[in-house]
Structure 1
Amino acid sequence: MQIHVTDQSGTRHTLEALEGFRVMEIIRDWGLNIKAECGGACACATCHVHVEPDWSAKLHPMRDDEEDMLDQAFDVRDNSRLSCQLLMSEDLDGLEVRLAPGTERDDQAAA
């Protein structure tokens, strides 16, 4: 399985993904510039992504806690999700997301 991630500078990356892993974990483990401060606990919004519209219907509905966290994020759109709340599955093979502004690790934000 794969996901396609466009980073904050506009570079598209194709990442191998394993079923059951959080999309945030996949992005982080491949070394992309994502802060993901809470590690998947839905306690921050630093793994915020914009999901390509064709994929939105394939995602499980957003829970209230995810929606509350997105209220604290920058550049929230109709297709915004927290990547820690998206679990990789066969249905998401080929998922397309873009890392939202403000999700860069502090040490790489200016790079």
Structure 2
Amino acid sequence: MKATWILPDGREIGLEVKPGLSLMEAAVAGNVPGIIGECGGTMSCATCHVYVADGWQEAAGAPSDFEEAMLDATDAPRLACSRLSCQLEMGPQIDGIVLRVPAV
């Protein structure tokens, strides 16, 4: 399975992601700039904030109430397509997903 992160400068990083792995974990392991995952996926830092690309938002699903609250604390502007990548688990429904890394 694959995910692609588009960096603020337009560069793309595509990574193979094992099923069940969070996209934050994959990004940190793949050294995707701008994805820090400081809290390790416990939704307490919002340093894995991403914008889900058009066409993938429905498949990614809506954030939980707690994730919604954390998204209000991001450094980059929050958009309707904002998600915490620690809450996006790789599976068949998001195989091929494209995420934009916000400029901070």
TM-score for the superposition, normalised by structure 2? 0.92
Match of 2:13 in 1: 13
Among residues 70, 76, 92, which one is paired with 2:94 in the alignment? 92
Question: Could you say what secondary structure the match of 1:44 adopts?
Answer: coil
Shift of 1:35: 1.6
Cα RMSD after superposing both structures: 1.0
1:29 corresponds in structure 2 to 29
Q: How many angstroms does 1:17 deviate by?
A: 0.7
Amino acid at match of 1:27: A
- CA distance in 2 between counterparts of 1:59 and 1:79 reads 10
Partner of 1:72: 73
What stretches of structure 1 move > 2 A for 4+ residues in a row?
none
Letter paired with 2:95: D
Q: Distance in 2 between matches of 1:78 and 1:61?
A: 10
Report the secondary structure of 1:49's partner residue. Answer: strand
In structure 1, the residue matched to 2:84 is 82
CA displacement 1:16-71 (0-9 Å, x = unmatched): 01100000011110111122111100011110000012000112321011000010
Gaps of 5+ in 2: none
The structure that has the greater radius of gyration is: 1
2:15 counterpart SS class: strand
**Alignment partners' CA distance in 1, 2:98 and 2:60:** 12
> What one-letter code is carried by the residue in structure 2 that aligns with 1:93?
D
Structure 1 gap ranges (5+):
103-111
Q: Partners in 2 of 1:81 and 1:53 — Cα distance?
A: 13
Q: Which residue of 2 aligns with 1:109?
A: none
Amino acid at match of 2:86: C
Residues matched between the structures, number: 102
% identity of equivalent residues: 36
